[in-house]
Structure formats: structure tokens, C-alpha cells
Structure 1
Amino acid sequence: MKLLITGTNGLLGQKLVSQLEKETFWDVLATSRGESRLGETAIRYQSMDIENREDVLQTVAAFAPDVILHTAAMTHVDQCELNREACWRANVEAVQHLIAAAEQCGAFLLHVSTDFIFSGEEGPYSEEATPAPVNFYGESKLEAERLVQGARTPWAIARTVLVYGITNSLSRSNIIVWVKNSLESGKAIQVVDDQWRTPTLAEDLAAGCLLIARQKAEGIWNISGKDFLSPLEMAQKTADFFGLDSSLISRADSSTFTQPARRPPRTGFTIQKAQSQLGYQPHSFEEGLALVARQIKQLQ
């Protein structure tokens, strides 16, 4: 089975490649914009700009994948709010190109989406909940979902929440790394306690996507962590795990910070469908912390 992945220079993409190195089921083509950041790997890499329609059509046609796993996106919420045209190109127009390419070769298209398509008024959400985004990032991802659902090829959507993890070549941080680095340097931090999420270990999201891909499981799937936590709880658990001074953490609410994009207050997902039908088994947040801690140690 041939699998083409977009966005393999990103966190999820790198975790997918790492897991696929151990598999013989898939013949994989890893793609991303620019040079590979995957390090030493036997998996083939090819630069592909998802915003360039001809590049997408030619690359996909030449490889003729059975499955396209689309992880690439513009995900920085405030940048999406401030740079709407760039966000739309990356998150909507690129999906149009991939749908056209998938339709040409009859590929199963798996699109990664987000909890930010929801208002955050009544989470955690099931797959059947009604979307109502409160920021432009969420609007762009919801429009991409609508396009995928109208595709003339088999499709699935994997929605996820607040992905965390670490690789040796990523500049962007996440809540665990930020809390750990801040507290280790003696820096006091403010963390909100009026938002709730089901934080997702990047390895779990990768595993969930591969379960969908392997089974060509059509439809919408919630692929997230299983613990419903506020960022303040995540920060406190991180401090406790690494034995750091949690007195440096102070409680804040969303009004404390000025951000261009609104955040949905209460999202998170119920994941029973993926657990029962796909065999998806995510780590607890504490187990995820332990895995990240081991990886940080290996990188030092």
C-alpha cells in the first residue's frame, strides 16, 4: 500500500515517519515544503508545496498513492487571524489541490483537523457536534472539512486537540516544553484556568491517523488525549513531574492576555468511537509527560 504524507517536517509528520520506519505494510513518500528535516531515515522524501496546484497534481500522480495523509497546515492561531489570505491559501486552497489530486488517482484522503472548529461553549465534543468557530483559523479548517466531505473519493477527517511532543529539529514550543524551560530558569509564568482541552501526545495522534489510514476508515474521527484538563492543570502536572517549583505558576484567565484571535473556552473531545471502532489507545497525560521527558533526555 502506498502512502503519501504532507507536512512531514512538522511535529505530527515527524512522528508519523518515525512510526512508519518500523512498518513494512506501507510504501511511503514523505513530503513537505523545502529541505527535509527528518534526519537519517530510509523513507523517501520529496519537496512539495501544497499551495502550488501543479506541484501537488504532478507529485501525487507520479507516486499514485492509495492513501494521502494530509497533516500540513497553518496552525498558529494568531498568525491566521492577522494573515487571513496566507491562512486561506495554506488551509483551504491547498486542500482543494489535494482533493483534485486524490480524485485523479482514486486515493483515500485523510485530512487532519482541529477542535477549533467549535465554539467551546459545550465541550468535550463528539463527532456529531455542530461546528461554530470563533476565530479565522477555525473558519479555515471548517471550510477545509466541508471541501473534504464533498470530495469524489473516499475520505476521513481526524480531529485533534492541543498536540504536544518534541523532536530534535522543531523551533515551535508547546505547553510542556514552555513550562519546563520557564521554571528551570526561575521564571514566573501565568497560565489560564478558564479553558479546557484534551491534550494530545503527538505519538498518539500519529498512531490514530495510521489506524484510520490502514483500515481506510471513512468519516469523522476524534483522535485526542483522554484527560480533560485546563492549561493551569497541565502546567502544574508538568512542574510536579519534573520536580520544579510550582509556586512560580500563577493562575490567570483569558482576559489577562491580549491575543488577536479568540480562543474557544471549553473544547476537548470524546474518543469512544475511535477507541471502540479503531482500537485507538491514547496515553494518559502523565504517561505522555514521561515519554516526552525520556525524549528530552535523549536529545541532551
Structure 2
Amino acid sequence: MKTVLTTGSNGLLGQKLTEKILAEGRVKLVATSKGANRYPIKSGYDYAEMDILNPEQITAVIEKYKPDAIIHTAAMTNVDTAEADKERCHKLNVDAVQSLISLCKEKDIQLIHLSTDFVFDGADGPYKEEDAVNPLSYYGESKVLAEDLLKNSKANWVILRTILVYGITNDMSRSNIVLWAKGALEKALPINVVNDQWRMPTLAEDLAEACILAVEKSAHGIYHISGKDYMSIADLVRKVADYWGLDQSIIAEVSSEGLNQTAKRPIRTGFVLDKAVKDLNYNPHSFEEGLKIVDEQMKASLK
């Protein structure tokens, strides 16, 4: 059985990986994150504190646990924060990846790196893996730089690009588009929602499954991983309102320009999933199915 080390295990994807690996036992897990372990179950796997900006700590942890694969989920993912603090974004999203590449090459460890639809300009989505990148934001640029480091390395690498990941963590500490929309609508306060950006939202459990499949199948190269449904952000929020029976009359649709966000967003992304379906047997949930899973988890957490 392969040993998998995850970075960013306190984040949404990190926690879903822990949950899935503990439930299914397909690989052994070493979870790592900066600071204490926030996952409620502490047994059945190893946990190590590891700051991805500390190369000596990374080396020590990897030499201790000798993983077969690293699933690198830790990153700066807030697009506007990345635009405002390019230096820190570069450290987290580019320099940290270089540290991992060097170790993975030296120790023959498979490196599974999470990337984003924001590497594209959104002029011609949905995109295939080989389509030309052209980021509009520094966040997207940092992810392209990291991808280039991987592609130009002799390491055993996999890039999983994804879109608008949603789900809940055990402590409800991480927000995302679905939780934001549900929470805002429940407060019954008017909300502005962009109606000229199109995406394929991704259930965190589906992305975690793709990560494990990439390990099990010894994958190599770039794969597009998202949900199967293509929709505007406004449609997404309306689907959330529909599912939980919330008032849609308070949703005000606005253009991207009307939101006045720090970083520019691509208009139409979305992915062609054929390669991941064929090579990895990837089979994502529909958005409706994803909302049902989130709803069931929320209810279970209240018990």
C-alpha cells in the first residue's frame, strides 16, 4: 500500500483527503499542515506540522515518513489577496513548489500539484488540458509559474487543475461559493451576484477522489478535474437558493465590472473532462448531488 503525504491538511481539500483515506483505506496517510491538526479524528494516520515555506522542515518530514506520493494542496487561493500581496503569493504558490520538486526528484516521489482554471483567460472555455494558458490575475500567473517549474523538472509530477471547489470542513472554518450563498440568503439581506462569469463548480469529495486516483494509477501529466455542470455564478447561487428553499428575490445580478474586484477574473472557464474520465476513471457528482451531500453533512454536524 502506498504512503501519501498531504500538505495543507487543515484546508477543505486536505480535510476531505483525510476523511476519504480513513474511510476507504486505499493508501496510508501522513497529513501535514502549518500549526496543530484541526481534523477531529486523530488516529489511523500520522500528522506532522510542516510549513511549506520552511525547506528544512519539509526535508525533515519527508525523510522521516518516506512517502511514495505527495498531494500538494497548500497554497494562497484568495485571488484578490494574491493580487494585493504578490510577494507572499509567489512564496506560497511558486517557491514552495520548487522546494517540493527538488525533494521529489531526489527521492523519486510522485508529486500531485493542485492548479486552477484561472491559468486561462476565459475567452474560449471550456478548456482541454493542452489549451494555451493566459492568466488575467497574479493568482493565475503564480499557478502558471508553478506548472512551468513542474513541466521543466525531471520530477514525477501530476497537475490537477480544478474549478470553484465547494464543501464543508468539520469545524466549518472555510467558506466557499456554496456556503457563502446559503449563508447570505439565509440572512435575507440583498446580495450582488455576478452574471457574466461561467464555471463548473467542483465538490471537494470529487477532487479528493481524483487526487487518490492519480496516486493509485501512477498518473503523469495534466488533468482537468471539476464538476460536470456548466453554469453562470448567478445560476449557481439560484440553484443554492432552490435547493434550500431560500428567497431568490434578494439576488441582484451584476456584471463583473459592477463588482469592482481587485483581480480580474476569466469570463468563461469550464473544463473538458474526457482525459480524466478515460485515464483516471474520474466520475464527478452533478451539482444537485453535490448540494445534497453538503446538506447531509451539515445535518450530521448538528447532531
Normalising by structure 2, we get a TM-score of: 0.97
Return the letter of the residue paired with 1:67: A
Answer yes or no: is the 8 Å Cα contact 1:127–1:221 preserved in 2: yes
Pick one of 76, 79, 82 that aligns with 1:74: 76
Report the Cα offset of residue 9 of structure 1. Answer: 0.5
Q: Residues of 1 paired with 2:38 and 2:288: CA distance?
A: 28
Correspondence for 1:291? 293
Q: Tell me how far 1:153 sits from its aligned partner.
A: 2.2
Asked whether 1:187 is paired with 2:178, we answer: no
CA distance in 2, matches of 1:15, 1:225: 16
| Distance in 1 between residues matched to 2:283 and 2:290, nearest whole Å | 12
Does residue 1:14 correspond to 2:15, yes or no?
Answer: yes
Which residue of structure 2 lines up, in the alignment, with residue 247 of structure 1?
249
1:55-85 Cα deviation digits (max 9, x unpaired): 1112112211111111110000000000011
Q: Does 1:29 align with 2:16?
A: no
Question: What are structure 2's unaligned runs of at least 5 residues?
Answer: none
Question: What letter is aligned with 1:87?
Answer: C
Deviates more, 1:199-208 or 1:178-187: 178-187
Task: Tell me, yes or no, if the aligned pair for 2:40 and 2:170 is still in contact at 8 Å.
Answer: no
Give every structure 1 segment of 4 or more consecutive aligned residues whose post-TM-superposition deviation is greater than 6 Å. Answer: none
Q: Give the equivalent residue in structure 1 for 2:88.
A: 86
Per-residue deviation, 1:170: 4.2
More displaced stretch, 91-100 vs 164-173: 164-173
Kept in 2, the 8 Å contact 1:106–1:153? The answer is yes
Q: Residue 280 of structure 1: which of 282, 293, 300 is its match? A: 282
Letter in 2 for 1:85: E
Provide the alpha-carbon RMSD of the alignment.
1.0
State the AA in 2 paired with 1:293. Answer: D
Q: Which residue of 1 aligns with 2:138?
A: 136
Alignment of 1:113-132 (within 5 A): 113-132=115-134
What residue in structure 2 maps to residue 64 of structure 1?
Answer: 66
- The whole-number CA distance in structure 2 between the counterparts of 1:168 and 1:63 is 26
- The answer to whether structure 1 residue 216 and structure 2 residue 237 are counterparts is no
SS state of the match for residue 71, structure 2?
Answer: strand
SS in 2 for 1:21: helix
Change (3 A) 1:20 1:88: same
Is residue 4–residue 69 contact of structure 1 (8 Å, CA) maintained in 2?
Answer: yes
How many percent of aligned residue pairs carry the same amino acid? Answer: 48
1:287 counterpart letter in structure 2: E
CA deviation after TM superposition for structure 1 residue 2, in Å: 1.3
Output the TM-score relative to the length of structure 1: 0.98
Q: Which runs of 5+ in 1 are unaligned?
A: none
Q: Which amino acid aligns with 1:49?
A: D
Q: Amino acid of the residue matched to residue 290 of structure 1?
A: K
Structure 1 stretch 249-258 or stretch 85-94: which is displaced more? 249-258
Q: Does 1:48 find its partner at 2:47?
A: no
Counterpart secondary structure, 1:113: strand
Q: Give the alignment of 1:135-214 within 5 angstroms.
A: 135-214=137-216
Match of 1:107 in 2: 109
Across the two proteins, how many residue pairs are aligned to each other?
300
**What is the alpha-carbon distance in structure 1 between the residues aligned to residue 301 and residue 189 of structure 2?**
23
